[in-house]
Amino acid sequence: MNRNYTVAIVGATGAVGVEMIKVLERRQFPVGKLVLLASARSAGKTLPFNGTTVTVEELTEDSFKGVDIALFSAGAGISRKFAPFAVKAGAVVVDNSSEFRMNPDVPLVVPEINGDDVKLHKGILANPNCTTAITLMALYPLHKAFGVKRVIASSYQAVSGTGAQALAELKAQVEAIVTGRPVEKNVYPHQIAFNVLPHVDVFLDSGYTKEEMKMQNEARRIMHLPAFTASVTCVRVPVFRAHSISVNAEFERPVSVEEARKVLTGVPGLKLVDDPAKNEYPLPLNCAETDDCQVGRIRLDCALENGLAFWVAGDQLLKGAALNAVQIAEKLIC
């Protein structure tokens, strides 16, 4: 469709919101007008876009007049309250929070996997959890080839997943430690610098956290695979950007390393980095600020029948959030 669109970003001053602005510009999304929305305390700030600056406005119920697409990244509570107003005003919402992900009337989309589901929207589309999206970039091609049954996984999640305050806290803690000053902690319950926390999101009665259950629950919807199961441990690590996931996957059909590498070669949005002899494997440092996820350390799982073990990494703020949201918007206007 050859036209320009009025695009709103809710949560524009947050870590993901800032990335959304950059992605829209870098991918030359046909933005006729960009509306930046945030809380009252952020109103009046300016952010760069396409060689000019855009002033941030306070988010209100009346913010969406004339908006075609509204990208939300301000938390579930804000999405719950304001997404209906955006839809009522005629906008299509692409929501990055957890609010609508399990709503059967809201498509949950990774464009490379189930992009056609975008057509089923009723005004709102959901962006999946960052760890789920990055994992599925490697798991789904393997599923198409071998039929995945279940996975056991551990995530190594960067502080960017918590937001701008967590990024600042890690930096401040590192600086405090190397200069001999006391460490202050506000965002996490424990020091994150030079530490790992096996605690991401809220604990459930089962002992898992909400974050750990998202991979199973969301992957079922994205892959259209209701019997899929996943046992996941999510760990916060002192990395600024990019999540990594160690995956042990069991398939219905026999697998081999050679076949898996062939399947994973040339997948859009995924780069095969798998030469251990040369110390080449996915690193979060190499994935930071890049669109493609990376997969490597591919080997036969010695404890699972028809099993593969592999390691996948990707930028949480991009494929795990802002990039995926803009790709959904691109599907909307195709």
Active site residue 130: yes
Q: Which of 321, 332, 320 is nearest to 136 (CA)?
A: 320
* Marked catalytic residue, from 130, 234, 287, 293: 130
Count Cβ atoms below 10 Å from residue 59 Cβ, excluding itself. Answer: 25
Count Cβ atoms below 10 Å from residue 3 Cβ, excluding itself. Answer: 8
Six-digit token pair at 143? 């599923």
As a whole number of angstroms, the distance between CA 285 and CA 258 comes to 27
As a whole number of angstroms, the distance between CA 290 and CA 56 comes to 26
Report yes or no: 271 and 261 within 8 Å, Cβ to Cβ. no
* Marked catalytic residue, from 121, 243, 287, 293: 243
Q: Could you give phi then psi for residue 287, rounded to 5 degrees?
A: -85, -20
Six-digit token pair at 148? 């995945």
What are residue 153's DSSP bridge partners?
232, 247
As a whole number of angstroms, the distance between CA 105 and CA 77 comes to 19
Active site residue 334: no
Active site residues: 130, 243
